[in-house]
Amino acid sequence: MLDQAEGYVTADGRKIGGVVMEMKNITLRFGGVEAIKDISFDIREGEIRAIIGPNGAGKSSMLNVISGFYIPQEGQVYYKGAPRPPMKPFEVARQGIARTFQNIALFEGMTVLDNVMTGRLTHMKTGLWAQSIWRGKAEAEETANREVAEKIIDFLEIQAIRKTPVARLPYGLKKRVELARALAAEPSLLLLDEPMAGMNVEEKEDMSRFILDVNDEFGTTIALIEHDMGVVMDLSDRVVVMDYGKKIGDGSPDEVRNNQDVIDAYLGVSHD
Amino acid sequence: MSDQLIYASEVFLNGLMAGVLYALVALGFVLIFKASGIFNFAQGVMALFAAMTLVGIQSGQVPFAHLINAIFGTKIHHFGWEVHSIIAIILTVLVMILLAWMVQRFIFKHLVGQEPIILFMATIGLAYLLEGVADLMWGSEIKKLDVCLAEGACLPQGINVAIDEATYNLFGYGFFIDNLDITATIIAILLVTALVIFSQYTKQGRAMRAVADDHQAALSVGVSLNYIWILVWSVAGFVALVAGIMWGAKSGVQFSLSLIALKALPVLMLGGFTSIPGAIVGGLIIGVGEKLFEFFMSSGDLAGALFGFTMNATENWFAYVLALIFLVFRPQGLFGEKIIERV
């Protein structure tokens, strides 16, 4: 059985709940290469969980396992207490796990609003016919979906570009739109693959603020991958550290910072 | 108005109508290409197959009659009943949906992530397979296609008479426009309207646009690619049926029908492979262009006076030359997405 223990309270006084997602002894291979070696960790309700590690450590692979893009050869994924059978990415998404991508995967031809609305596909339930003739439940549903979308657009401060085709936006804003689309699904777990990659300091600060606000305002559980150590330590409640596909550390930012393995492998051995 | 101008207007109108038929075929190509990146060479054969199935069901033909007779020594050909057009159309739509499912399940599911050229080769194979199946299923003789909505009301009668009279009163010369072309135009307008409503306002349509734009992103918002591809092939099958009915009613249901796919190629090069409005405008431009060009070049008064010679049968090559010119100067077509490589 899974440990459904009551959780913990963070330094800033937020209450973290039970386990939402648990990875147990996950091993992922590509041919002869082991991208992930026997890794276990959990993600708890309401927390911001970071996965860090040097390039090629297997962080993105881990995120892809959680979101169903990769199926691990060994190990078991538990979601909301139940073992999850191997699933296609779209089935995982329908279970309430939303994600963003390292290299941004947006619907470039659509406007920002359309992108965010598409994020609500899993919440659209009325039939084809009702939607075509725009009657009854379909109308009410569309209005409700639209309201959620607008709220998220307001929240992420992208009102000014609602009607702009995404292809025309600069990189930083695209990242934000992608976050908006993932949020639109009102996910029980939000996966962010390097949300701050390629950003300047200002953009990074904005994005950090949004991630914290999202977690605070909507109570969204967030798992993120990040390179920038400073950012990670400020943002996250607990951190998993990976190196060469192995887990070398797991705990609060302070614990990880003082973990000798992590210092050696990731931050480098001191040279004095 | 001068006589030449009046004749030219009539030619123009007829060109528009012919263009609608080209656009119908091109539309099927665009739908599949947008959603899956597959250039479906079999679109023309799908139109043929749909038209043959419709006639077969209408006239109560036994499918695979020749095969059954050859194996069991029986002599069955017809069930002995006739099916109402509307029911026959619904049944044919179901057959096209089944075909879409089979194409996805047995061919393209196994080719996900392959090079475009491999997908294209697969559709060539599909085209010949489907042509063979159509032959085996319904026989190869030329069939007459009549779509009747009710007794005696096969296609709207009298519209062309009205046009004839109206233009006669106006210009002193009655335009001749084929009844069938008018019907095709009306149906094409309805079809495009329905497609627009479907893709803009329904969940499935939104998912379809999402898949057309980015596969990974579509997966991450909970869209099943497999389902959307079956849906797209079904819609393309339906468009093929409409095109098959129109062309079949015009020239009889025969195997040369599959060659209309070739006529759709210049339309696509003009309009762009990824644009639905492009397919329609491209079809109209080609239709009007080739008719007007033919009219102009074959007339002694115009081309003869201007160049000192006239040309006939320019319709055979005009569309392709126009497409070539477009390939040189605007390879993405009028409405296609511009290919920009960022460095």
DSSP string, B38-59: ---TTHHHHHHHHHHHHHHHHT
Which of left, alpha, beta for A25 (phi over 0: left; psi -120 to 50: alpha)? left
Most A CBs within 10 Å, among B215, B220, B238, to test the A interface: B220
One-letter-per-residue 3-state SS of A235-248: HCCEEEEEECCEEE
- SS3 breakdown of chain B: % helix, strand, coil, rounded to 5? 75, 0, 25
Residue B221 is nearest to which of A118, A126, A134, comparing CB atoms?
A118
Which residues 206-245 of chain B have a CB within 8 Å of chain A? 206-207, 209-210, 212-214, 216-225
> Does A182 sit within 8 Å of B219, measured CB to CB?
no
Whether residue B36 is contained in a domain is answered as yes
Separation of first and last alpha carbons in chain A:
48
Whether residue B259 is contained in a domain is answered as yes
Distance CA(A167)–CA(B29), nearest Å, equals 25
Distance CA(B5)–CA(B102), nearest Å, equals 52
Residue A124 is nearest to which of B203, B217, B220, comparing CB atoms?
B203
Whether residue B335 is contained in a domain is answered as no
Prediction ipTM score: 0.87
Q: 0.90 cut: is pTM over it?
A: no
Identify which of A18-32, A227-241, B150-164 has the greatest average pLDDT: A18-32
Q: Is the pLDDT of residue A217 over 80?
A: yes
Chain B positions touching A98 (Cβ under 8 A) are: 220-221
pLDDT of residue B341: 56
The pLDDT tens digits along chain B (343 residues) read 577 888 888 889 888 888 888 888 898 898 888 888 889 999 999 999 999 999 999 988 888 888 888 888 888 888 888 888 889 999 999 999 999 999 999 999 898 878 889 999 999 999 999 999 999 999 888 888 877 655 555 655 566 777 777 878 877 777 777 777 788 888 888 988 888 888 888 889 889 889 888 888 999 999 999 999 999 999 999 999 998 988 888 888 888 888 877 888 899 989 888 888 888 899 999 999 999 999 888 887 777 777 878 888 888 889 999 999 988 988 888 877 666 555 5
Residue A107 is nearest to which of B217, B219, B337, comparing CB atoms?
B217
pLDDT of residue A83: 93
Whether residue B334 is contained in a domain is answered as no
> Does A132 sit within 8 Å of B220, measured CB to CB?
no
Total domain count, chain B: 1
Contact B282, B271 (CB under 8 A): yes
Which of left, alpha, beta for B286 (phi over 0: left; psi -120 to 50: alpha)? alpha
Which of left, alpha, beta for B80 (phi over 0: left; psi -120 to 50: alpha)? left
User: Which residue type is seen at B288?
Assistant: V
Chain A positions touching B206 (Cβ under 8 A) are: 117-118, 121, 124
Which residues 74-113 of chain A have a CB within 8 Å of chain B? 88-91, 93-94, 98-101, 105-110
The pLDDT of A103-119, averaged and rounded, is 92
Chain B positions touching A185 (Cβ under 8 A) are: 221-222
The pLDDT of A143-151, averaged and rounded, is 92
Whether residue B263 is contained in a domain is answered as yes
Q: Please report the domains of chain A, with CATH numbers, ordered by start residue.
A: 1-96+187-272 (3.40.50.300), 110-184 (no CATH)
pLDDT of residue B48: 94
Residue A132 is nearest to which of B197, B210, B216, comparing CB atoms?
B197
pLDDT of residue A2: 40
Whether residue B316 is contained in a domain is answered as yes
pLDDT of residue A1: 36
Which residues 278-337 of chain B have a CB within 8 Å of chain A? 337
Residue of B nearest to A167 (CA): B213
Most A CBs within 10 Å, among B203, B204, B224, B275, to test the A interface: B203
> Does B221 sit within 8 Å of A98, measured CB to CB?
yes
> Does A93 sit within 8 Å of B222, measured CB to CB?
yes
Chain A positions touching B207 (Cβ under 8 A) are: 118, 121
Residue A90 is nearest to which of B197, B201, B223, comparing CB atoms?
B223
Whether residue B280 is contained in a domain is answered as yes
Which residues 127-186 of chain B have a CB within 8 Å of chain A? none
Task: Calculate the average pLDDT of chain A.
Answer: 88
Whether residue B340 is contained in a domain is answered as no
Element (H, E) at A26: strand A19-30
Chain A positions touching B197 (Cβ under 8 A) are: 132
> Does B217 sit within 8 Å of A105, measured CB to CB?
yes
Residue of A nearest to B337 (CA): A109
Tell me which residue range forms the domain holding B185: 3-149+158-329
User: Among A52-61, A82-91, A95-104, B120-129, which is the least confidently predicted range?
Assistant: A52-61
pLDDT of residue B157: 56
CA distance A137 to chain B (A): 13
Q: What is the Cβ-side half-sphere exposure of residue A169, based on CA atoms within 13 angstroms?
A: 25
**A107-139: buried (b, 16+ CB within 10 Å) or exposed (e) per residue?**
bbbbbbbbbbbbbbbbebebeeeebbeeeeebe
**Chains A–B, number of C-beta pairs less than 8 Å apart:** 80
Distance CA(A215)–CA(A45), nearest Å, equals 10
Q: Is the pLDDT of residue A198 over 60?
A: yes
Which residues 246-275 of chain B have a CB within 8 Å of chain A? none
Chain A positions touching B221 (Cβ under 8 A) are: 93, 98, 118-119, 121-122, 181, 185
The answer to whether A136 contacts chain B (CB < 8 Å) is no
> Does A98 sit within 8 Å of B219, measured CB to CB?
no
